Amino acid sequence: MPRATFIDHAGESRTVEGAEGENLMRVAVLNDVPGIDADCGGECACATCHVFVDDAWLDKCGEPTELETSMLSFAATAQPNSRLACQIILTSALDGIVVETPVAQH
Amino acid sequence: MDPFHNPFIAEHAERARTIPLEEFSPANPKYMEMDVWRPYFSRLREEAPLHYCEDRIIGPYWSLTRYKDIMATEVNTKVFSSSSTFGGITLMDQREELPMFIAMDQPKHDEQRKVVQPIVSPQNLENMEKLIRQRTQRVLDALPRNETFNWVEKVSIDLTNMMLATLFDFPFDDRALLTYWSDSATANTLGGGHVDSEETRERILAECLAYFTRLWNERVNAEPGSDLVSMLAHGPATRNMSPREYLGNLVLLIVGGNDTTRNSMTGGVCFLNQNPDEYARLRANPALVEPMVSEIIRYQTPLAYMRRTALEDFEMHGQTIRKGDKLAMWYVSGNRDSAAIDNPDQFIIDRARPRQHLSFGFGIHRCVGNRLAELQLRILWEEILQRFSKVEVVGPPKRVFSAFIRGYTELPVRVIP
Ligand code: HEM
Ligand code: FES
C-alpha cells in the first residue's frame, strides 16, 4: 500500500499507509492523524482538510478543480502549495508523498 | 413541572402523519415558535425529499430536507444562486434589495469575502481568546445567585453583543445599538414586535448606516486597523462600495455574529437540562466541552435554512425545479437525517465527528465565523463549569416567531453554585 507522511505544525512527522484509490483526507482520518478536521466529509465543501504539499509532489497531485481553488482562496494560511487533502487520490505514483498540516483548520 | 413539556407536540405529530403532503408548509414560522417542526420534517425526509409548496405570503417554493441533497446543492453554485438580485438567501423576497456578500455569487462574493476573512484568522482568534475569557468571567460572576433570571438577556445577548463591539471596534457604551439593529434586521413583521412594517425596518437600518458611516469616515483616512469597519474601508473589493452595499454587509456581519451564537448559548443550557445524564458526564469530564460545542450548534441549528434560486431547470427526485424557482435547504432537517448522522434526535456530547453537521452551511458561503462561534461557546462552558454545579432551567423557554432564525427570547434559569 502507498505511504503518506503528515508533518504537523509543531514539526512532528507521522507516516501511514493508505489503500490505493483512497483520498488523502480519509487516509489521515482513518489513521487518527491529527490536524485534519474534514468537516464536510470529503465533499470539497469546507476546506478543513487543508495541507501544504511538499514541492517534489505537488505536480504529481494533478490540477485542483474550480471549487477547490475557490475554497482554498478563503483559507487564512493558504500558500501556493496548498491543497485540500480530500481531493488528492492516493496512487502508487504518490507513494511516499509528504504534506504538512497548518496551524489550524478554518 | 417539566419546563420543557410541550402541550402541542402530540397534536402536531398526528397532523404531520396524516395530512396530505400538498398541505405541508414547512416555512410556517409558528412551527419553530411552538417547537413542533420535527414531525413535519421527518415525514418530508421520508416521503417527499424535494417538496413543493404554494405559500400565500412567500409564494411558491421548494424544500430540500435530506443531508446529502443539501450538501450537493450547496456546492452546485452554477445552478443554485445566492444572489440578492433574484431574492437572496431567505424565502421572503425583499422589496428593497440589500446587497451583501452572503447574497452574491462568484466572482464578486469571493472578492468581498476575502476582505473580511482575516478577522477570524487563527492568529486573530488566539489574540481574542484572553479578552473573550475575561468578559465571560465577568458576566458569569455578576449573575444573581439563587434567584430566577432570563439567561437570554443576562448572558447570551450580553456576551455576543460585546464580541460584536470588539469585531467592529464599535464605541463600547453604544453597543446595545448593535443588538437592536440585528433584531430589527431579522424581525418578522408579522411577529408583533417593534418592526411592524418594512418601512419601519428601513428607517431603523438607515440609522444604522448613518452611525457606521461616521465610523467609516474616521477610519478610511487613518492607518488600516484590524477591525471590520477598517477592513471594509480599506479593502480593494469593498472600499468603493455604495452606501447600500455597505449597509448590506454590515447587516450581514452584525446578524451573522449575533443571533446565531446567542441562540447557541441559550440552546446549550436547554439541551443539558433536557439531558441530565449528559450534563453529569460533562461535569465529570470537562474535556467534553469541545465536542459538545459542535453538538450544541448541530442540535440548535440557529439558521433553519438558506434559500437558493435556480438559474436553470434542474432535475431532482423525478421533478423539475424550474429556472427562477426558489428553494430552501433545510439545515434543521438535514441535521436530523439518520442517513448522515447516527441517532440524530439524540443530544450526545461526545460524538466521534461532531463537526459533521450543516449548521454552518458548506461550500463557498460556509460560515466565516464558525471557529469564532465555537471559541465563544467553548469558553462560556469552560467558565460555567468552573463556577456552577448547574444552570437550572426553571420555566418554559420562549422561542422566536420565525422560520429562518431558530432562537429564544426568554429562558428563565437559576444558577446553582
Ligand atoms: C453558531 C453560530 C453561527 C451559525 C450557526 C452560523 C451560520 C451561518 C450559515 C448557515 C451561513 C451561510 C452558509 C451558506 O449559505 O452555505 C453563514 C454565513 C456567514 N456567517 Fe455565520 N454563523 C454563525 C456565527 C457567525 C459569526 C460569529 C460570524 C461573524 C464573525 C458569522 C459571519 C458569517 C458571514 C460573514 C457569512 C457569509 C459567508 C459567505 O457568504 O461567504 N457567522 N453563517
Ligand atoms: S473534507 Fe471538506 S474540503 Fe476536504
Ligand nearest to the CA of B113: 1
Give residue B257's pLDDT: 84
Give residue A67's pLDDT: 95
Chain B (349-378) residues lying within 8 Å, Cβ to Cβ, of chain A: 353, 355-356, 360, 362-364, 366, 370-371
B107 upstream amide cis, omega within 30 of 0: yes
Cell digits of residue A36: 485534519
User: ipTM > 0.90?
Assistant: yes
Q: Which residue has the cell 426558489?
A: B326
Domains and CATH numbers, chain B: 9-416 (1.10.630.10)
Determine whether the shortest distance from the Cβ of B306 to ligand 1 is under 6 A.
yes
Determine the residue of B368, B375, B404 to mutate for testing ligand 1's pocket, defined as the one with the most ligand atoms within 8 A of the Cβ atom: B368
Cell digits of residue B325: 424557482
Its domain, for residue A82, covers 3-105
Provide the pLDDT confidence category of residue A75 given band limits of 50, 70 and 90.
Answer: confident
- Strands B390-393 and B398-399, how do they pair? unpaired
Give residue B83's pLDDT: 95
Average pLDDT over residues B288-292: 98
Contact state of B122 with A76 under an 8 Å Cβ cutoff: yes
CA distance A48 to chain B (A): 10
3-state secondary structure at position A97 = strand
Number of domains in chain A: 1
Give residue B190's pLDDT: 80
Cβ(A77)–Cβ(B122) below 8 Å = yes
The 10s digit of each residue's pLDDT in B350-382 is 999 999 999 999 999 999 999 999 999 999 999
Cβ(B8)–Cβ(B32) below 8 Å = no
B174 near A CB under 8 A: no
Give residue B191's pLDDT: 77
The 10s digit of each residue's pLDDT in B246-272 is 999 999 999 888 889 999 999 999 999
Give residue B260's pLDDT: 94
The 10s digit of each residue's pLDDT in A21-55 is 999 999 999 999 999 999 999 999 999 999 999 99
DSSP conformation letters of B260-317: HHHHHHHHHHHHHHH-HHHHHHHHH-GGGHHHHHHHHHHHH-SB-EEEEEESS-EEET
What backbone torsions phi and psi does residue A83 show, to the nearest 5 degrees? -145, 165
Determine the residue of B360, B366, B374 to mutate for testing ligand 1's pocket, defined as the one with the most ligand atoms within 8 A of the Cβ atom: B360
Contact state of A106 with B121 under an 8 Å Cβ cutoff: yes
Q: Over 90: is that where the pLDDT of A77 sits?
A: no
Calculate how far, in angstroms, residue B74's C-alpha sits from the geometric centre of ligand 2: 13
> For A98, which DSSP code?
E
Residue of minimum CA distance from atom 13 in ligand 1: B361
* Sign of the alpha-carbon torsion through B373, B375, B378, B382: negative
Q: Which amino acid is at B271?
A: F
pTM: 0.96
Give residue B128's pLDDT: 93
Chains A and B form CB pairs within 8 A to the count of 58
- Most B-contacting residue of A73, A79, A87 (CB-CB within 10 A), to test interface: A73
Cell digits of residue B343: 441517532
Cβ(B329)–Cβ(B70) below 8 Å = yes
Q: Which residues of A touch B293 (CB under 8 A)?
A: none
Helical packing angle, B289-300 and B276-284, nearest 10°? 150
Ligand nearest to the CA of B369: 1
Cβ(B249)–Cβ(B101) below 8 Å = yes
Facing A39 at nearest CB: one of B74, B120, B356: B356
Q: Over 90: is that where the pLDDT of B10 sits?
A: yes
Calculate how far, in angstroms, residue B114's C-alpha sits from the geometric centre of ligand 2: 19
What is d(CA B133, CA B121) in angstroms, rounded to the nearest whole number? 18
Determine whether the shortest distance from the Cβ of B254 to ligand 1 is under 6 A.
no
Calculate how far, in angstroms, residue B102's C-alpha sits from the geometric centre of ligand 1: 8
CATH classification at residue A64 = 3.10.20.30
Cα–Cα nearest to B50, from B28, B76, B72, B35: B72
The 10s digit of each residue's pLDDT in B312-355 is 999 999 999 999 999 999 999 999 999 999 999 999 999 999 99
**Residues framing ligand 2 (Cβ under 6 A):** A 25, 38-40, 42-49, 84, 86
Provide the pLDDT confidence category of residue B283 given band limits of 50, 70 and 90.
Answer: very high
What backbone torsions phi and psi does residue A82 show, to the nearest 5 degrees? -75, 140
Task: Tally Cβ neighbours within 10 Å of residue B190.
Answer: 11
E-only strand ranges, B23-115: 50-55, 59-64, 80-81
Nearest ligand 2 atom to alpha carbon A85: 4
CA distance A103 to chain B (A): 7
